[in-house]
A and B are shown apart, each in its own frame.
Chain A
Amino acid sequence: MDLLTTSVATVESGSEPYTLVELVGEADVTNSDALREVLDAEVAKHPRTLIIDLSGLRFMDSSALHVILRANRAMDRQGGVVALASPRDPVAKMLRLTAADQLIPVYATVSDASAG
């Protein structure tokens, strides 16, 4: 079984569709290249909103964080928005300690994130 699985969906919500990337497992330096490829591919489609669902993520290290920050910069440049949804406690703490949560909004649920 892969350490990290990613799944991508386009969700048609009430107002406008958003891209939902769900991460399940453990994200670290050994799979951050694969994560970057997944996020780059979605960013390249120019969605207005890219929501990353972290609820299934048991662990995230700074390599994975850098990949997410990079995607956030790219989305920002093209006028889109990245949001993070439902991180578990250790991941939420790490986002706080690195101040990443000041750059990328963190929501309790995906539906909160999609409501902005």
Chain B
Amino acid sequence: MQPSRGLPPPAPANGAIYHTYRSDLSQVRALVLQQARQAGLTEGKANDLVLAVSEVAANTLRHTRSAGTLAIWHDGHEIVCEIRDEGTIADPAAGTRKPPPGASGGHGLWLVRQVCDLVELTSNASGTTIRMHMGLRPPGAPG
């Protein structure tokens, strides 16, 4: 989990599904759940990914006035959800420290980093890209 201020990572692989959102996060969550199930994530992992993507998309609504874009793709090893928006996250390590119990903010990115297998965060003046990776369990592996 290396936070970076560099250029955004390369565009998603072919076969990604794209969705633009401005206000409806329920639609975002439904799409992630459907794709996560289709990729073969367990129900628990699928719900984790839904929470992570929803938290990041909520930040788009909170901190920008423009739409965000969700891209989802998967291969045999992992499913990746990428959110791009025009917001800027000043602290690339945001969410790496646990907020104190009862804190009135700061839980969103903490949760994202807790539930995902890998989080890549790239932010600069032109926008933020956050990629959330979730590993697929190999065929035949338990649980």
Which residues in A have some Cβ–Cβ distance to B below 8 Å?
Answer: 3, 26, 28-30, 59, 61-63, 65-66, 69-70, 72-73, 89-90, 93-94, 97-100, 102-103
Contacts and interface: CB of A to CB of B under 8 A. Distances in A.
Contacts of A89: 44, 47
Interface in B100-134: 101-102, 104-105, 107-108, 110-111, 114-115
B47 A61 contact: no
A65 B103 CA distance: 10
What 3 A-B pairs come out closest when comparing CB atoms? Answer: A62-B107, A90-B47, A29-B58
What does DSSP make chain A's interface, helix, strand, loop or mixed? helix
B111 A94 contact: yes
Interface in B33-51: 44, 47-48, 50-51
Interface residues of B, number: 27
Given A94-B111, A97-B115, A28 B105 contact: no
Contacts, number: 68
Contacts of B24: 30
Contacts of B105: 66
Interface of B: 23-26, 29, 44, 47-48, 50-51, 54-55, 58, 61-62, 98-99, 101-102, 104-105, 107-108, 110-111, 114-115
Nearest to B58: A29
